[in-house]
Amino acid sequence: MPAFLAAIRDAHPLLFDYALSPALKILVLLFAGILPAIAYLTLAERKILGYMQSRVGPNRVGPWGLLQPIADVAKLLVKEDVIPEQSVRWAFILAPCLVVGPALVIFAVIPIGPPAASPTGLNLFIADVNVALLYVIAVATIGVYGLILGGWASNSKFSLMGGLRSAAQMISYEVPQGLALVGPLILAGTLSLVGIVEAQRDAKVWYLFPQFIAFFIYVVSGVAESNRNPFDLPEAESELVAGFHTEYSGMRWALFFLGEYANMIVISAMATTLFLGGWLRPFPSVAWLHFLDFPFLPAGLVGVFWFVAKLTVFLFAYIWFRGTFPRYRFDQLMDLGWKWLIPLALLNLFFTGLVKLLVKG
C-alpha cells in the first residue's frame, strides 16, 4: 500500500474504510476490469463465432483484430445520436441507463478474491453485504425495466413487441432462477457471497456437485436473463428487426450492449461464486493438487486468477450457445420455464432441504 494511503488509513480509519477504499476499488474494478473485459468480450465473441462458422473473424484492426474494440468504441462515440420525435423523450434517455446501471452495481458484492489477501492487505471485494444474494437478485431484475421502458418509449411496433417479450420472458425465468439460488443458500446457511464461498471451502466441495440441478437451472435462466441466444427474444433480429433497441443509435445503443455484456459477466460471476467455489482452486480438499495454489504467488493474485479462469469458461459457454442453438419461440420459453424448470427447481429445493435436515438432525 502506498505510504500516503497508509497514512490516511491510520489517521482516519472510518473515512478510509467507508469512502476512500471502496471508491478506489470501484475505480480500479470498473476501468481496469469490467469495461476492458466487456470491450474484449465483444471481440472474443466475434472471433469465436467466426471460428465456429469456419471464418476468421475480425483481423484487420491491429494484430488478430486486437484493436477492434477500440475502433468500435470510437465509432460509436462519434455517431449521430437519434432520438425519434414521436418517442417519449425522458423514458427513451432513461432506458439504456436502467440497463447498464444495475448490471454494473452488482459487481459491488461479488468477491473476486479472498478477504484481506491482496498484496495491499485490502479485501478483494468492494463490500461483504450479509444479504448479498438478495441484493443481486433484486438489482438484476431492475435491468429488465430498462428493456421494457426502452421498447415502450421508442413508440415503434418492433420495439414495443420486443419490450413486451422481455416482460413475458422475465416472469418465466425469474422464478426458477430464484428457486435455484435457494439450493446453495440452504447448503451454505448464509446470504453473503463471501460466506457462501467460504462454506464451499469448509464443505470441501463445490456446490456444483450436490446442486447440479440448481446449477443447470441457473445457467439456463441466466442465459434468459441476459437476453442471449437461444433466449434473445426481446432482440430477435430476424423477426423484430432489433426488438427493444430498434430505434436506438450511437452511444445509447452501445449502452444497451454494454448492459447485455455486463449482465453476462455478472451472471457468470454469480455462477462461479455460488457453484464453482469463487476464488478457490479446483478440488480445494485434494492435498496433492496444492501446486494449483501457485504457492510462490501472493494468495490474492491466485484467487483472482482462479476466479477469472472460471468466469472465462462461463463466458465461452455463452458464446458457444450463441454459435449453436437457434432461438426459442417465446411460448416455448414460457413452457420451458413454467412446466420444466420450476417443478425441477422445487424438487431440488425439497430434496436439498430434506438432506440438510436429516444430516443436521
Partner 1 sequence: MSAVKRFFDRILLLDLFAGLGLTFKHLFREKVTVQYPEERWEPSNRFRGMFRLDADRCIKCTLCARDCPIDIIYIDWHQEANPETGKKEKVLDRFDIDVQRCMFCGLCEEACPTEPKSIWLTTKTYELATYDRWQNLYVDKHQLADWRVRPAYTDEEIR
Cis peptide before 230 (omega within 30 of 0): yes
54 or 238: CB nearest partner 1: 54
274 or 344: CB nearest partner 1: 344
CA 182 to CA 121: how far, in whole Å? Answer: 32
Side chain identity at 254, as an amino acid letter? A
Q: Least Å distance between CB 302 and partner 1?
A: 29
Q: Pattern 35-64, binding to partner 1, x per CB under 8 A? A: -------------x--xxxxxx--x-----
Q: Pattern 287-326, binding to partner 1, x per CB under 8 A? A: ---------------------------------xx-xxx-
Cβ pair 312, 305 in contact under 8 A: no
State the SS3 of 294-321: CCCCCHHHHHHHHHHHHHHHHHHHHHHH
Output the nine-digit C-alpha cell for 17: 474504510
Side chain identity at 39, as an amino acid letter? A
CA 265 to CA 318: how far, in whole Å? Answer: 10
Q: Least Å distance between CB 60 and partner 1?
A: 9
CA 267 to CA 221: how far, in whole Å? Answer: 10
Q: Least Å distance between CB 51 and partner 1?
A: 5
Q: Any contact of residue 332 with partner 1 (CB under 8 A)?
A: no
Q: Least Å distance between CB 179 and partner 1?
A: 19
33 or 323: CB nearest partner 1: 323
Output the nine-digit C-alpha cell for 268: 457468470
Binding-site size, partner 1 (CB under 8 A): 13
Which residues in this chain contact partner 1 in the complex, by CB under 8 A?
A: 48, 51-56, 59, 320-321, 323-325
